[in-house]
Homo-oligomer: A and B are copies of this chain.
Amino acid sequence: MSDSGEFLYTRVAQEMALAIRSGDLGAGSRLPSLRALCGRYGISLSTALQAYRQLEGEGLVEARPKSGYFAAAAACEPACEPAMSRPSAAPGAITVTRLALDILREARRPGVLNLGAVAPGPELLPLRRLLREMGALTRRQPEIIGRYELPAGNPELRAQIARFLARAGCRCRPEEIIVTNGCMEAITLSLRAVARSGDTVAIESPTFYGILQCIEALGLKALELPTHPREGVDLDALQQALESQRIAAILLVPSFNNPLGSNMPLAHRRRLAQLVEEHGVPLIEDDIYGDLGFQTPRLPTVKSFDRSGNVLLCSSFSKTLAPGLRIGYALPGRYAERFEHLKLLGNMATAGLPQLTLANYLRHGGYERVVRQAARTYQQRSEQLRRLILEHFPDGTLVTQPQGGFVLWVELRPHVDGVQLHEAALRERIAVTPGVIFSPRGDYRHHIRISCGQADGTALADGVQRLGRLAHRQ
């Protein structure tokens, strides 16, 4: 079977698995026939058959002779999962910045069990191999630290990133890529390239507080969209917003949104690209967790379906290889010239040595293996963490089932306050992140985000048990 055939049947299987697990296709309900599946996805009969075989293998589907395919009885998990978010429908200024800064500062105290930060586990990063590449480079080319790199980035790294993006279905020339100091810089520069003070940016709800603060610092307003904990943003709501008000830009994390861990289905990605093209509105697609999905192959980025240049893809190697190298990148589409200019004025250029180090690492291979191993570990930890929370927190606590990344979003019982829980936990030297800073105006008061990037095993178990006790006490 060819790669593309395998790619297709895995994608189809993923979408069906999601529908079955979420209960959209209830236990025992009849599934589309093979022929119907071919028609719906435009795939061959053998690819459709492969998809159902994969789902059978995972225990999600039962094949009944002469009757067809049915959702397996045990496949639909108990809910215990937050519902679609329902944020305010009016764009507004961001008011939680001060609170967010205070919270982040406190959580950095030394000796604290870190269930707060979205930093990857250092034991899952290829640090020594990267440093060997760096050492070899500096011996051969000491002058690399003596000159300014090109503002758009090192040509060899850009070539490697282009090759690498092709894997995620995104074909581009190296010259279209601009290297940045991490993903956050790519996002800030993207926002500056497409929007002006006073403009409205449509975002998921909840959204990573760093993005909210970025929007605030640039004098922009945020329009929160309803967001499903597994499928991501509600595209009907987005379409309605685009049709009824002026939206300067859309900023989404389609793959493993922080804090939800949602994964936008393939069909939604296609529709989103089309919406963006029809309305001529730029979409900033943050793909920082894109390679840390729990199922392979990953879904293509929305950028892969972008024909108009309206999508600005932003990502980095900070969650997969080395946050300390501070290397991210953007594929800013038709905003490339303005983006590059803002990059030049922002800090002239990103340092050359870490760029060439990464270029050599990527050329010499091993990236795929490293991220697969990391994603498997994060999946195990996430499942452990979810079980622990459901076990130790008060009954009725809801937890996301992330599809990738390493954070869980916890909806506490209505009488449990996330900020108070965060404060109580800090007194016990445990850092979690309160939900209020994930919305512009301090919604999600009864939510917290817990990260398992840097904790596992007994430390994680002990931490969650103590958190659960604190939640019970409120």
Contacts and interface: CB of A to CB of B under 8 A. Distances in A.
B146 A125 contact: yes
A324 B351 contact: yes
Contacts of A185: 346-347
A117 B127 CA distance: 35
B146 A342 contact: no
Interface string A279-321: 0000000000000000000000000000000000000001000
B345 A326 contact: no
Given A138-B134, A145-B130, A341-B101, A184 B324 contact: no
A133 B218 CA distance: 39
Contacts of A97: 341
Interface stretch (A209-217, A238-246, A371-379, A409-417): A209-217
**Which of A213, A351, A352 gathers most chain B CB within 10 Å?**
A351
A213 B341 contact: yes
A135 interface: yes
A217 B348 contact: no
A453 to B, nearest CB: 11
Given A181-B181, A217-B341, A351-B354, A146 B346 contact: no
Interface string A160-183: 000000000000000000001110
Nearest to A134: B138
Interface string A339-373: 00110111111111110000000000000000000
A130 B353 CA distance: 13
Interface in A181-208: 181-182, 184-185, 188, 192, 196-197
Interface string A236-279: 00000000000000000000000000000000000000000000
A312 to B, nearest CB: 16
A146 B217 contact: no
Contacts of A345: 184, 188, 210, 213-214, 217
Interface of A: 97, 101, 108, 117, 119-120, 122, 125, 127-128, 130-131, 134-135, 138, 142-150, 180-182, 184-185, 188, 192, 196-197, 210, 213-214, 217, 219, 318, 322-326, 341-342, 344-354
- The 8 A-B residue pairs with the shortest CB-CB distance, nearest first, are A145-B324, A185-B347, A181-B347, A122-B146, A326-B351, A145-B322, A214-B345, A131-B138
